[in-house]
Structure 1
């Protein structure tokens, strides 16, 4: 973000209201990944990628899903295609670091950073998203057009599998260069076309639908209800007609259902676990996603290293560093008597005195080792040390 970017004004006037082009600041933007490295990721089995070719003459798009092969890339034309790789922040530290500048939005809202490489005239067609997105321009230039607000009733072209807006009419247009950032709120139609070879970093935000919220809360309630809890008649009396469902019955049902979902603790816990569920699951005890200055991300529970609280404290006492696993998601909430840490869809109840640790873990774009002072304090606190050991064993932390 440029130094003069007014975060408070942005939240007041633009966030989830209207687009904003944020021109690059004085510092030059350096791409954290090369097109060749991005193509390498798109060849990996466990990484979601898409290749989109556009036929400008016929106004059609062709969508293919990865993983791809080197031969497929070599057979591509020189222009009119885009490669999109999802969640690159899970695999590349330098890409993950981009989200640190968006700390004026709660970190649990951030979904992932998608990176796209487009050759001249490459694009994914006019479309809209149901979530907020910051489009950071890397190398090259791109022409962005924005149009009307859209929703589920907007006519679309679905033949390519891309769910494109059928009759896109541009209302605003910008040419963006390295370091420029285009913010788009949910529902705004947009169309970006590369001018020469171009890289774009899309910081997307989670926005569960109300249907997902109701369904998720219902699933949690179903897990807690038993066969013994059933409908009962209240104030039974002679009916005016045996076939009528009276207003008293409906009122009773309404009150009963509201009482089931009126517990803020249940809602908070469900929301925390839901918003920290990883986009892509990583294996417990194994996270081979990259490296921190030579520190291998992979670890095994039975490798002879950290296996219990004693070996953990010995390792920390000997100067071992603590890192978050790329792709792991952290958030916390404060209740009346305790704090709750949500990590990768799990909830851990903690004492309030662990707040500094919870905040350190929940910092967005945090790719460096945790502050040594925070780690040292954890080593001196049995509950904090147990929490670190649990997160390590669950595959959410690297200690080494």
Structure 2
């Protein structure tokens, strides 16, 4: 595939200042040598795997109706499709195909823990998934073929949706802009922007999506984390016991005490940090992160690495870290690991790693001389977050 996804003159600072989460941006390819990292046939084969998350969407243009089917699919499913008006969508292809994962390297101006996945869609002529909006940012990268995109109004939870479909399609789509994307072109869409893309001829599209948990999910997750920390003995007590004037009244100082108790427990910065780090690095497919090979001890690992073998992030592995009060925490695939702050260089190497490139040899050699930090490499290898080749 082409070495770069974004054009060389793409101004990342300008994009973050003026477009990110603000307004759409069409990014035209500066060359025409974009080569798809996956073929339609490979995508169809992946959609037949039990572990893949795949969907087929067919549209009836006469009645403006869309039908949705979920995979895994079979060869017979594809042979029964019409010549046009259908789309195949497969989530997290970056976790299955290395060359698709490599596309993420060009989006290093967005924190890695914000990246969700790359969904790949193949559409036959006039194939589409209807007018809709997303609650997250997305870069739509055009592969082979052409797709005509229309963008429209800003939407939210109050926007009226079609009741005849379970696909959350817009009842009233109001197009304001139109773009014809060809190979290598990219359309960025911030959250809430209505959009509608129709293939002109067969087409492949790569959708780089970003994680954006709702506040309901955030609060619910933090509450669950708090509940895990509490014990049966922590209970309500009367803050200012006194004779009641009216036995049925709940006075304001009781509510004040409740609020203080809730704030104390939900406002635990360490707990919030830990929950967020684990949540934002949790893999989409937990079953795909794992290893059958166990390295027994530090000495075995040291011998292998000093003998020329290298460490790589496992496909789909996710890393992030925090440093506070001279204490580091690594978040790896939903796990939280406390470390001394001297492990910072390793944490940065893990979090900044390119899925196609080995971890820097200089950093690995330094870590091997620190048995406490080297145990982290052993743990990550044995849980499948790293692989050794």
Normalising by the smaller structure, the TM-score range is over 0.9
Give the structure 2 partner of residue 350 of structure 1: 339
Give the structure 2 partner of residue 323 of structure 1: 312
Query: Are the counterparts in 2 of residues 284 and 393 from structure 1 also a CA contact under 8 Å?
Result: no
SS at match of 1:389: helix
Tell which deviates more after alignment, 90-99 or 27-36.
27-36
| Structure 1 CA distance for aligned equivalents of residues 165 and 47 of structure 2 | 20
Query: Are the counterparts in 2 of residues 108 and 331 from structure 1 also a CA contact under 8 Å?
Result: yes
SS at match of 1:203: strand
Query: Are the counterparts in 1 of residues 149 and 179 from structure 2 also a CA contact under 8 Å?
Result: yes
The offset of 1:98, in angstroms, is 0.8
Aligned pairs, number: 384
| Structure 2 CA distance for aligned equivalents of residues 46 and 136 of structure 1 | 25
5+ residue gaps, structure 2, are 1-5
The offset of 1:316, in angstroms, is 1.0
Give the structure 2 partner of residue 254 of structure 1: 259
Say whether residues 1:181 and 2:181 are aligned partners. Answer: no
One of 334, 356, 371 as aligned partner of 2:323: 334
Tell which deviates more after alignment, 150-159 or 269-278.
150-159
Say whether residues 1:300 and 2:289 are aligned partners. Answer: no
Give the structure 1 partner of residue 17 of structure 2: 12
Query: Are the counterparts in 1 of residues 145 and 200 from structure 2 also a CA contact under 8 Å?
Result: yes
SS at match of 1:47: coil
Q: Aligned-pair RMSD on alpha carbons?
A: 1.3
Report 1:147-186 matches (<5 A).
147-186=152-191
The offset of 1:300, in angstroms, is 2.3
The offset of 1:263, in angstroms, is 2.0
The offset of 1:131, in angstroms, is 0.6
Query: Are the counterparts in 2 of residues 62 and 160 from structure 1 also a CA contact under 8 Å?
Result: yes
Give the structure 2 partner of residue 35 of structure 1: 40
Give the structure 2 partner of residue 388 of structure 1: 377
Tell which deviates more after alignment, 272-281 or 365-374.
365-374
The offset of 1:384, in angstroms, is 2.6
| Structure 1 CA distance for aligned equivalents of residues 203 and 236 of structure 2 | 61
The offset of 1:148, in angstroms, is 0.6
Give the structure 2 partner of residue 47 of structure 1: 52
Query: Are the counterparts in 2 of residues 99 and 364 from structure 1 also a CA contact under 8 Å?
Result: no
Post-superposition Cα deviations, 1:8-30, rounded to whole Å, max 9, x if no partner, equal 11111111111111111236211
| Structure 2 CA distance for aligned equivalents of residues 28 and 136 of structure 1 | 14
The offset of 1:236, in angstroms, is 1.3
Query: Are the counterparts in 2 of residues 103 and 364 from structure 1 also a CA contact under 8 Å?
Result: no
Give the structure 1 partner of residue 239 of structure 2: 234
| Structure 2 CA distance for aligned equivalents of residues 313 and 199 of structure 1 | 44
Say whether residues 1:108 and 2:101 are aligned partners. Answer: no
Query: Are the counterparts in 1 of residues 315 and 355 from structure 2 also a CA contact under 8 Å?
Result: no
Give the structure 2 partner of residue 292 of structure 1: none
The offset of 1:378, in angstroms, is 2.1
The offset of 1:382, in angstroms, is 1.1
The offset of 1:201, in angstroms, is 0.3
The offset of 1:331, in angstroms, is 0.5
**Residues 284 and 325 of structure 1: CA distance in aligned 2, closer, same or farther (over 3 Å):** closer
The offset of 1:89, in angstroms, is 0.3
SS at match of 2:26: strand
Query: Are the counterparts in 2 of residues 131 and 206 from structure 1 also a CA contact under 8 Å?
Result: yes
Give the structure 1 partner of residue 3 of structure 2: none
One of 366, 370, 383 as aligned partner of 1:377: 366
Post-superposition Cα deviations, 1:184-215, rounded to whole Å, max 9, x if no partner, equal 11111100000111010000000111011111
Query: Are the counterparts in 2 of residues 282 and 395 from structure 1 also a CA contact under 8 Å?
Result: no
Query: Are the counterparts in 2 of residues 54 and 122 from structure 1 also a CA contact under 8 Å?
Result: yes
SS at match of 2:41: helix
Query: Are the counterparts in 1 of residues 114 and 280 from structure 2 also a CA contact under 8 Å?
Result: yes
The offset of 1:371, in angstroms, is 1.7
| Structure 2 CA distance for aligned equivalents of residues 283 and 136 of structure 1 | 25
Say whether residues 1:310 and 2:310 are aligned partners. Answer: no
Query: Are the counterparts in 1 of residues 353 and 359 from structure 2 also a CA contact under 8 Å?
Result: no
Say whether residues 1:129 and 2:118 are aligned partners. Answer: no
5+ residue gaps, structure 1, are 287-298
